[in-house]
Structure 1
Amino acid sequence: MKSYSATTATPAYPRRTVIATALALAGLGVSPSVLAQEAARRDDPGEALQSVIVTAQKRAEPMQKTPVAINTVDAKAIENQRIVAFDDLTRVAPSMTVTQNSTNSSVSLRGVGTQSVSIGVESAVSVIVDDVPVVQQLQAFANLSDVERIEVLRGPQGTLFGKNAAAGVINIVTKESSDYLSGSVQATLTSDHEKRVEASLSGPMGSHAGFRLNAYQARRDGYIGNVADGARVNGENAKGLRARLDWQALAGLKLRLIADFAERDGLGPNPVYLSVPAGAMLFGQIDLSTRLQGLAPGADNFAIRQDENGSFKSTQGTFSVAANWQLGRHVLTSITSYQDWKFDYTMDLDAADVDLLGALTRGAAHGGLVAGGPFRSTMLTQELRLASSGGGNLNYLAGLYYANADSDRAYHRGPVAFLANWNAHADNRTSAVFGQLDYKMRNDTRLVAGLRANHQSIGVAFNELQLATPARYTGETSENAVTGKLSLQRDVAKDVMVFGSFSTGYKGSGYDISSGFNQSRADHPAAPEKSASFELGIKSRFLNNRLQLNATAFLTGYDDFQAQSVIIDSSTGLLNLRLNNVGKLRTQGVELEAAYKPARAWLFEAAAAYTDATIRSFPNANCYPGQGAEQGCVTTGAVRVQDLAGKKLPNAPRLKGTLGTTYDFAVGDGDLRGTANLNFQYQSKVNFDLFQNPLTVQGGYGVVNGSLALGDSQRGYKVTFFANNLFDKSYAANIGDNAGVFGGVHVLTATLPRNARRYVGMRVKYEF
């Protein structure tokens, strides 16, 4: 769904326009009689929807002419809907869901993503910031500041974006330098004790260059209370600085240099108790019911009782140089980047303030059970592209790509090396050649064909330090893969385009680098994940560009889908993670987007996604805790397994939608103007467990957000009042069953996002 911004106000609109608006929002369509009446009008051009330019095919082109399923949100909508964190994008992209956890927060598109803490596994959804892909998906969960546009490309995008785009791409484009001196300063205060300051400055440097500087700092108290020590956890401190230089170095040669630094830290994230049945004994030693003073387990529980609050710190720096050289009717593009990401965390595994070690060791050691350790990933990338100008009937784009990524992780679960102690290194070398042709068969018909050949080599070195004699396990492998795309589009009427496409995606082999790693895992990495997708779509505008209706039907199959699952260690009772190739899965559905601007002042938006993400083949999958034969769990030898064929993917709602409106209005007779925004999100129930545990289900829910802004463009100031989760609807971003550590009793914990509580705030902005 494209998020647009209304401009100036007009007098009240006729009743028939209100009726047309209601029909557009409720049914994503308008009756022929109303269309005829409205089309006959000659409206002010200011009432039309904007023409949106995207780079979904690595060249600038109108979104409505691009045969790709895509949601976009521009700078004004980002401000109006207060999209400041990465997971806020779910407000404008119904096909996108986020699963939050301490070390494996992940994003899914159309029900498909990668939930893995392994540094040897890539994400199925690629996140790209100013043409630079992130190494680890956890990097993406950062603050969004000074962003010009965000594009969410749904479905396999492997031809142009590479091997870690098997399910889609999230493309973030920051603001460029301006031709005149300008800047802004804004401060935000919220009822949940967030204090945020952002500033930007941009302008020319001589006659051939321009600069842009952006900085932000934010501090927010936690929204979870620890009744054991009074601390507020799951808060965050963040700061960042981005510097950009745009330079016309020579005639026809433009350079872009970006240096970006960001840091986040805080206490947590900590899950809360959702349900604690009687008889729950922590590791069979301590009765949990005696450690619940001050807690009320349930959907509205925002409190914990722990002796360790846990912590995290993320630091990343990125430097990139992009060059665009005009060579007659062609453009040669070079993009070079280097990034360095560091992440360190600790977490309280027993989630209680008990002397667990004293009970387990009979007094030899004391304290709780803590896990954590540092990550570090670096990556160097180089991309070269040669593209035709786009003026003829046949246009092309050809490119070369190289990436060199190294990741390190150390992990302990103890204290010290009581239960786990290891460190590991993973490397990933990628080279690719790709190309895409765009042929105008007729004035109203275009054929697009693309191909990418990819070579990957990966390696692992794992040092197991827990054993009496430390062990080292190593492995390496390489593979080749080809992905492609073929699409046909036709303009069936003015501003009405239909398209059909077939595309393939690929995610390379991965090493399951986690506790319990051994030489067998080093010798047998998870097989590559492959996808093939069919799409049929329509992109249309009516009523003199005031009504936009887009729809896409899709069917995507995945082979050897990679997923990480929880395994209970029989010797310790602790939970470990294992990477599985699920086998086959299919995601299919329909996506609808509508935008309607009945007047200069009004904008209505609606979007919905129906997604059926189903496992087609996954024999011998783990049974969930407590699953019996009547629920499909059978014993094969010494192993209890189930067949997941026909089951749904985790955190993949069948129905997800958004409905919103923005209204611009004048205040008095002066230059003071106002903007009101109201947005509603809904999603149906989901199960967070790949193995279908019926206890880890989040029911369907809806959330309402709103804002009211007053500003004077002549004087440059703007004050915005906003409310998040207006009706205080609590919901979970993840639910876990901890029966393995509580003697088979199903103790449920939930990860609650900040947006699961109501908070209000005020933002003051000054621009010059």
Structure 2
Amino acid sequence: MKTIATVAYPPRLTSIAVAAAMLAMGACAMPAFAQQGAAAQASPEEGLQTVVVTAQKREQPLQKVPVAVNMVDAKAIENKQIVDFADLTRVAPSMTVNQSNSTVALRGIGTYAFSIGLESAVSVIIDDVPVVQQLQAFSNLSDIDRVEVLRGPQGTLFGKNSSAGVINVVTKESTDYFSGRAQLTATDDQQRRAELSLSGPLSDALAFRLNGYADSRGGDVTNLTTGEDVNGESSRGLRARLDFHPSTSLSMKLIGDYSTRRLVGQALTLRDVPAGARLLGAVPLAPGLVGITAGPENRNVRLDDVGFTDNKNGSLSGTVNWKLSGNTLTSVTSYQDWKYESSSDIDGTELNVLAALTRGAANGGVIQGGAYHSNQFTQELRLASNGDGNFNYLGGLFYSNTTTDRSFSRGPSALLAKWSATAGNQTMAAFTQLDYQLTQATRLSGGLRANKEAIDVRFTNLLPVVPATFAGDTSDNAVTAKVSLQHDLAKQVMLYGSVATGYKGAGFDISSGFNQSRIDHPVAPESSKAYEAGIKSRFFDNRVQVNATVFMTDYNDFQAQAAVVDPNTRIITLSVHNVGKLRTSGLELELTAKPVKSVLLEASVGYVDAIIRKFPLGTCYPGQTLALGCVPLGNSTVQDLAGKTLANAPKVKYNVGATYDFPLPNTGWGGLVNLNYQYQSKVNFDLFQNPLNVQDAYGILNGSFAVQDDGKKYKITFFGNNLTNKSYTTAINDNSGFFGGAHVMTQVLPRNSQRYFGLRLKYDF
């Protein structure tokens, strides 16, 4: 059994303690200043409203929770044009999204892995239910009540796959009166979206809610081979919900959800092409470049097969809340079925690559793809006190059973690779959290989670005449803990500090080339130790809110995915490595102000230093020489990555925004203007520090103007994305192994990396 326990603060934490003390001294001084400077008391509707979150599995005011949380509600989602999951980076400065593989990182930490045998480091929870794969969450955000972004390890309450944080999505509840919303959206980049929501009572004790959407968008990359646009998408979704309240002590909800999403093409565009580049060192690339100017803003490709991705996700969950004497017993049961299929032209050209690979035996390009199918059953039981006394508690049991199948092939008729695999995961856990009010102003909290996990794998290589099968299993036990202390310096000023341990389970790197050695040497479990101190405060009669956090987390055996070149096929493959030691530390600051009823100002900044502390046997990047740190080791070469920054981990990110709400005289209508600017410093997308994989710093400005009638039934919104038309990429690849050593660079250009405008019509009834 592996136990991960808390230890004393290291000397490095002194700087964090000093920063927290400075924040505390400032907070102590500000309430008095606020009382002197406020000329008049603000009415409740003029100041900032109380925000309720479920960051600790019970409803609590955000300003009273000793956890670093970003929260965006339905109104902010609408005003800031947060339509896709990736748009959440507009409100969470420590969050980054890699859209090339649909993964999320918080404070620089995320597990980028396509393997079905590994879990993510950031857990996505939808209505109390964890999704099987992060990719399931990358659908449209429709009919959402709020999204909470919990930063830092959250394993005590949310489990082992939340070692970097949690994204908690809460959908809207049923209403006890008939209501509805119809919404239409159209943009100049060919998006057409329709949404409809209906809710109301079916009886005195039963209410329903239905939500459906249909969305389509044309591509933003042109395939010169066919003249068609690629990288477009279409999606559909339907959610049905029943809320049953047979008595004041018993409530139940049943939620069914089904969605589909299809992306046409997964086209990477050429960022840089050295003169004379040849596919496999033999086929000249130049004939496939007609009409293409490689560069950071290139949106043209030549593909003989554009490829696709298909997502189909269905889920059913039931929740029961039974209020007992001073307690609430909660049961959450869920079942999910997720299917994903993809196909892509990995040579990225229209050239006859196979003729060179097979010496004329076959013709065409190199296609790879396959299908995933996941099923997951979860059951959670928890008992929580009502939160009113000096001593409060929460305890629970959790069980999940997940099975994922995957098939994969590469090349025509699977000439280069063909395999199938099944991965299973069973998890059982018991957890508790206790809170005790030491004094009227001071509260101590402690939590503990015991986790038992069993994983198995079965892999069959179907390429040989006689298929080869490898099977195995492993198990692991772990205990994680958290202790926090919070103190009210004033009525609306709270200082807190916490120490927590985290854990992410072992796994199998299930990908091409899987063999018995990978079963005998699974990817080791990842453990972490986190220190955090923060302040949450409000001043000037609820007009100004300032929250700040300093943090440091050490990771051992951090699980990270990186691209390496298959020596046999010369094709880039993805493999998972255990980075020896990693540290992420930094500062997060959030400011919200409502100086007058009509103006809302928001700003947040995150400084994150995600540094590799120990990784002596890292793979050398293509072209790395002895002078650049690549040294021979046996039949290979390695580099020491100690002191290097983690991949796709910007040191600085910040968001600033303003919303102005004003009346339109003598019209019965009002206006609303919103501007939002987000910035991030440069990043390297390669764990192994290839200098060609760097995206420079950039900033994006978004804005909207809306008019709404005084009854708030009709709303017309004009919005613009990326108003300065700043191009950027979310992934860069070095394909030198596929091009005979020539550094042919490709990139992913997301939709938001170019300017577009749109119109949204909304009717509430």
TM-score by length of 2: 0.95
CA distance in 2, matches of 1:501, 1:331: 26
Once the two structures are superposed, residues 41-85 of structure 1 have per-residue CA deviations (whole angstroms, 9 ceiling, x without a partner) of 222322110100000000000000000000000000000011110
CA distance in 1, matches of 2:377, 2:246: 24
Q: Does residue 257 in structure 1 map to residue 257 in structure 2?
A: no
Tell which deviates more after alignment, 117-126 or 290-299: 290-299
CA distance in 2, matches of 1:712, 1:561: 53
Displacement after TM superposition at 1:37 (Å): 4.8
> What residue in structure 2 maps to residue 315 of structure 1?
312
Tell which deviates more after alignment, 756-765 or 296-305: 296-305
Letter matched to residue 150 of structure 1: V
Query: Is contact 2:163–2:502 with CA below 8 Å preserved after alignment?
Result: yes
CA distance in 1, matches of 2:586, 2:123: 21
Once the two structures are superposed, residues 249-286 of structure 1 have per-residue CA deviations (whole angstroms, 9 ceiling, x without a partner) of 34511000000011000212211000001121111221
> What residue in structure 2 maps to residue 725 of structure 1?
722
Query: Is contact 1:516–1:576 with CA below 8 Å preserved after alignment?
Result: no
Q: Map of 1:184-583 to 2, 5 A cutoff?
A: 184-583=181-580
Q: Which of 644, 648, 652 is the equivalent residue of 1:647?
A: 644
CA distance in 2, matches of 1:279, 1:37: 72
Query: Is contact 2:255–2:317 with CA below 8 Å preserved after alignment?
Result: yes
CA gap 1:679/1:119 in 2 versus in 1, 3 angstroms: same
Query: Is contact 1:109–1:167 with CA below 8 Å preserved after alignment?
Result: yes
> What residue in structure 1 maps to residue 50 of structure 2?
51
Displacement after TM superposition at 1:318 (Å): 0.6
Q: Does residue 60 in structure 1 map to residue 63 in structure 2?
A: no
CA distance in 1, matches of 2:626, 2:694: 21
Q: Which of 629, 633, 642 is the equivalent residue of 2:630?
A: 633
CA distance in 1, matches of 2:621, 2:27: 41
Displacement after TM superposition at 1:570 (Å): 1.8
CA distance in 2, matches of 1:63, 1:364: 65
Secondary structure, aligned partner of 1:731: coil
Query: Is contact 1:201–1:214 with CA below 8 Å preserved after alignment?
Result: yes
Query: Is contact 2:27–2:537 with CA below 8 Å preserved after alignment?
Result: no
Secondary structure, aligned partner of 1:358: helix
CA distance in 2, matches of 1:30, 1:670: 46
Displacement after TM superposition at 1:209 (Å): 1.2
CA distance in 1, matches of 2:550, 2:525: 26
CA distance in 2, matches of 1:359, 1:403: 48
Letter matched to residue 573 of structure 1: R
> What residue in structure 2 maps to residue 614 of structure 1?
611
Secondary structure, aligned partner of 1:258: strand
CA distance in 1, matches of 2:668, 2:396: 50
Letter matched to residue 109 of structure 1: L
> What residue in structure 1 maps to residue 20 of structure 2?
none
CA gap 1:644/1:28 in 2 versus in 1, 3 angstroms: farther
Displacement after TM superposition at 1:691 (Å): 0.1
CA distance in 1, matches of 2:28, 2:603: 11
CA gap 1:207/1:755 in 2 versus in 1, 3 angstroms: same
Q: Which of 717, 726, 733 is the equivalent residue of 1:736?
A: 733
Displacement after TM superposition at 1:294 (Å): 1.1
Q: Which of 152, 155, 176 is the equivalent residue of 2:152?
A: 155
> What residue in structure 2 maps to residue 5 of structure 1?
none
CA distance in 2, matches of 1:644, 1:468: 41
Letter matched to residue 53 of structure 1: V
Once the two structures are superposed, residues 405-440 of structure 1 have per-residue CA deviations (whole angstroms, 9 ceiling, x without a partner) of 000100000111210000000000000000000101
Secondary structure, aligned partner of 2:465: coil
Query: Is contact 1:718–1:765 with CA below 8 Å preserved after alignment?
Result: yes
CA distance in 1, matches of 2:194, 2:480: 44
Displacement after TM superposition at 1:290 (Å): 2.1
Secondary structure, aligned partner of 1:484: strand
CA distance in 2, matches of 1:733, 1:268: 16
> What residue in structure 2 maps to residue 14 of structure 1?
none
CA distance in 2, matches of 1:571, 1:596: 59
CA gap 1:715/1:91 in 2 versus in 1, 3 angstroms: closer
CA distance in 2, matches of 1:738, 1:668: 60
Once the two structures are superposed, residues 592-616 of structure 1 have per-residue CA deviations (whole angstroms, 9 ceiling, x without a partner) of 0000001000000000000000000
Letter matched to residue 537 of structure 1: G
Query: Is contact 1:212–1:244 with CA below 8 Å preserved after alignment?
Result: yes
Query: Is contact 1:28–1:594 with CA below 8 Å preserved after alignment?
Result: no
Letter matched to residue 762 of structure 2: K
Query: Is contact 2:265–2:309 with CA below 8 Å preserved after alignment?
Result: yes
CA distance in 1, matches of 2:372, 2:278: 33
Once the two structures are superposed, residues 670-689 of structure 1 have per-residue CA deviations (whole angstroms, 9 ceiling, x without a partner) of 42011110000000000000
Secondary structure, aligned partner of 1:142: coil
Displacement after TM superposition at 1:34 (Å): 7.1
> What residue in structure 1 maps to residue 130 of structure 2?
133
CA distance in 2, matches of 1:76, 1:571: 53
CA distance in 1, matches of 2:485, 2:36: 33
Query: Is contact 1:307–1:352 with CA below 8 Å preserved after alignment?
Result: yes
Gapped regions of structure 2 (runs ≥ 5)? 1-25
Letter matched to residue 442 of structure 1: T
Q: Which of 159, 171, 174 is the equivalent residue of 2:168?
A: 171
CA distance in 1, matches of 2:670, 2:541: 26
Secondary structure, aligned partner of 2:45: helix
> What residue in structure 2 maps to residue 750 of structure 1?
747
Query: Is contact 1:183–1:767 with CA below 8 Å preserved after alignment?
Result: yes
Once the two structures are superposed, residues 84-104 of structure 1 have per-residue CA deviations (whole angstroms, 9 ceiling, x without a partner) of 100000000000001122xx3
CA gap 1:759/1:34 in 2 versus in 1, 3 angstroms: farther
Displacement after TM superposition at 1:361 (Å): 1.8
CA distance in 1, matches of 2:435, 2:31: 35
> What residue in structure 2 maps to residue 121 of structure 1?
118
Letter matched to residue 688 of structure 2: F
Letter matched to residue 721 of structure 1: F
Once the two structures are superposed, residues 551-589 of structure 1 have per-residue CA deviations (whole angstroms, 9 ceiling, x without a partner) of 000000000001122222222212222211111100000
TM-score by length of 1: 0.95
Once the two structures are superposed, residues 321-344 of structure 1 have per-residue CA deviations (whole angstroms, 9 ceiling, x without a partner) of 000001111100000000000000
CA distance in 2, matches of 1:335, 1:152: 21
Letter matched to residue 120 of structure 1: G
Letter matched to residue 390 of structure 2: N
> What residue in structure 1 maps to residue 76 of structure 2?
77
Query: Is contact 2:31–2:539 with CA below 8 Å preserved after alignment?
Result: no
Equivalenced residue count is 740
Letter matched to residue 64 of structure 2: K
Once the two structures are superposed, residues 270-310 of structure 1 have per-residue CA deviations (whole angstroms, 9 ceiling, x without a partner) of 11000001121111221112211111111111111111101
> What residue in structure 2 maps to residue 41 of structure 1?
40
> What residue in structure 2 maps to residue 18 of structure 1?
none
> What residue in structure 2 maps to residue 689 of structure 1?
686
Query: Is contact 2:30–2:539 with CA below 8 Å preserved after alignment?
Result: no
Secondary structure, aligned partner of 1:442: coil
CA distance in 1, matches of 2:219, 2:33: 51
CA distance in 2, matches of 1:446, 1:508: 32
Once the two structures are superposed, residues 372-426 of structure 1 have per-residue CA deviations (whole angstroms, 9 ceiling, x without a partner) of 0001111000000000111110000000000000001000001112100000000
Query: Is contact 1:672–1:713 with CA below 8 Å preserved after alignment?
Result: yes
> What residue in structure 1 maps to residue 21 of structure 2?
none
> What residue in structure 2 maps to residue 20 of structure 1?
none
CA distance in 1, matches of 2:42, 2:388: 31
